[in-house]
Amino acid sequence: MNTTRTALAVGAAAALLLAGCGGPEEGPAGGSTPTGSRGSAVTPERCRQNEAAGKVTYVTGFQYQASASILDPIAAKALGYFDDVCLDVEIQPGTGETAQNAQLVAAGTAQLSSIAGNGDVLVNVANGLDVQAVAMFGHVPVATLMTEPGITDLTQLEGKTLGHKGALPVTIEAMLRAAGVDVAKIDQVKVGYDPTVLVRGQVQALTGYKSNEPLTLAAEGEEITEWNPEDYGVPGSMATTIVDPEFLSGHRSAVEDFLRAQLRAYTHCEQHADECVADAAELSQAGYDSEHNAQVWRTETELVDSSLPDGQVLGRIDDAAVRTEGEFLVQMGQIPAVPDLSQVVVPDLVPSLYSGGQLVWPVP
C-alpha cells in the first residue's frame, strides 16, 4: 500500500528550602506560565525522595524538534510540572544519533533519554550498553520511504538510487524485501537532511520520517509517494524512553514522577500545540520553524494515538511487543539474539502511574 501526498497548506523555585514542599494540589495547569508551588503535586516525604535524586539530565532524540518524547518533557519543564513533583530537570538536545544517547545514559552522564524506538534499544543493548526501556509512545514505525510519483511498485527501485541518512533503516529494508525487491540491486547513497534531493531527481527514493520530510515537501507543493513499513507487516515503535538502570534502582520515585509529569504535559500539548512549540522555540533560540514543528507534533501525536492498543494506557512499554521487534531484528540479522527482556524492559512502571485508566495527579 502507499499514500500519495500533494501540496497541502499544510528555577528559582528549585532553590526553595525543603520545608517549602507543599501538599497535593488538584487541577491541570492552564498555560505556559508555571502554576502551583514547589512540591504541590507530591507529599513532603516524596518531595524529599525526589530531591535526593539530584539533577536529572534528559537528552532529547533530536535537538528541540516537536516530536513525541521531546516536546512533552520541554513542556513539562515550562509548565512547572517537574517543579510540582520536586524534580530538578535539565533538558539537553540530542544529535539524532541513537547510539550516542544510549552511551550517555549507560555511562550515567544522563539519567534518561529519548531514543527512536524499541529496536534501537535492543541494538544498543546487543552492542553492550546497559540501559533499560521504561516508556514508549508509538506502536508503529516512524520511518517512511518516499519516492517520485512515477514509482508505482517498489521493485521499480532496482537499478535506481536510494538516499538515506547514513544507513538504510531496518524497517525500510524489511519492507523492500517483503515487496520482493532485490535490495542489492539498489544503489544506496548517504544524503543530508534536505529532502528536495528527491524532487530534484538526484535520488529516486529517500528514507525519512513520516512527521518530517513529507511535511516539508508538501508545504513546498511537491508531490511524492510514501511507502510505509507497517503496510507490509513490519513491526516497529517510536519515541521510547531509556534510563540508567543504576539511577532507576536508587531513585525509582524520581523516574516515576518524571514520566508522570511528561505524560501530563503530553496531554496538555495535544490541546495547546502552538504554546508548547513556542516553549521549544525559545530553547532553540534561532532558526526554529515553529509552523513546521507544530505540524511535526500533530502528525506524531496522531501516529501515537491511532496506534495505541485498545485498553492500554499511553506510555506503557509492552514487553511482548518488544519481543516481536527483537525477533524481527534477529531475522534481519541486526542482533544475534533477543536479550533477556526482564533486564531490559520495565513494563510495570508506566501502568503504576495510572488508576482506572487515568493518570494520577497529584501523587497520593
| Distances 114 to 72, 174, 275, 324, 364 between C-alpha atoms, Å | 11, 24, 22, 21, 27
Is residue 227 classed as helix, strand or coil in its secondary structure? Answer: strand
Q: What residues form DSSP beta bridges with 144?
A: 208
DSSP state of 120: H
| Distances 98 to 70, 118, 237, 308 between C-alpha atoms, Å | 14, 11, 14, 23
Q: How many CB atoms lie within 10 A of CB 8?
A: 12
Phi then psi dihedrals of residue 322, to 5 deg: -65, -40
- Residue 143 carries which side chain, given as an amino acid letter? A
Sign of CA dihedral 295, 298, 301, 302: negative
In this structure, what C-alpha cell is assigned to residue 289? Answer: 520553524
Pick from 280, 283, 264: nearest CA to 83: 264
Residue-by-residue pLDDT tens, the chain, 364 positions? 444 333 322 233 333 223 334 333 333 333 455 656 899 999 999 999 999 999 999 999 999 999 999 999 999 999 999 999 999 999 999 988 889 999 999 999 999 999 989 999 999 999 999 999 999 999 999 999 999 999 999 999 999 999 998 889 989 999 999 999 999 999 999 998 899 999 999 999 999 999 999 999 999 999 999 999 999 999 999 999 999 999 999 999 999 999 999 999 999 999 999 999 999 999 997 889 999 999 999 999 999 999 999 999 999 998 999 999 999 999 988 899 999 999 999 999 999 999 999 999 999 8
How far apart (Å, rounded) are the C-alpha atoms in residues 178 and 238? 21
How far apart (Å, rounded) are the C-alpha atoms in residues 293 and 270? 13
How far apart (Å, rounded) are the C-alpha atoms in residues 124 and 126? 5
Q: Which domains does the chain have, with CATH numbers?
A: 16-140+237-359 (3.40.190.10), 143-232 (3.40.190.10)
Between helix 98-106 and helix 118-126 the angle, nearest 10°, is 60
Query: Order of strands, edge to edge, in the sheet holding 143-147?
Result: 3-5, 224-227, 143-147, 205-209, 161-164, 187-190
| pLDDT (tens digit per residue) in 178-226 | 999 999 999 999 998 899 999 999 999 999 999 999 999 999 999 999 9
Mean pLDDT of the chain: 90
Phi then psi dihedrals of residue 297, to 5 deg: -60, -45
Pick from 121, 116, 111, 203: nearest CA to 164: 203
Q: What residues form DSSP beta bridges with 55?
A: 88
DSSP state of 147: E
Sign of CA dihedral 316, 317, 318, 321: positive
Strands 112-115 and 55-59: parallel
- Residue 48 carries which side chain, given as an amino acid letter? R
How far apart (Å, rounded) are the C-alpha atoms in residues 176 and 86? 48
How far apart (Å, rounded) are the C-alpha atoms in residues 56 and 2? 42
| pLDDT (tens digit per residue) in 46-80 | 999 999 999 999 999 999 999 999 999 999 999 99
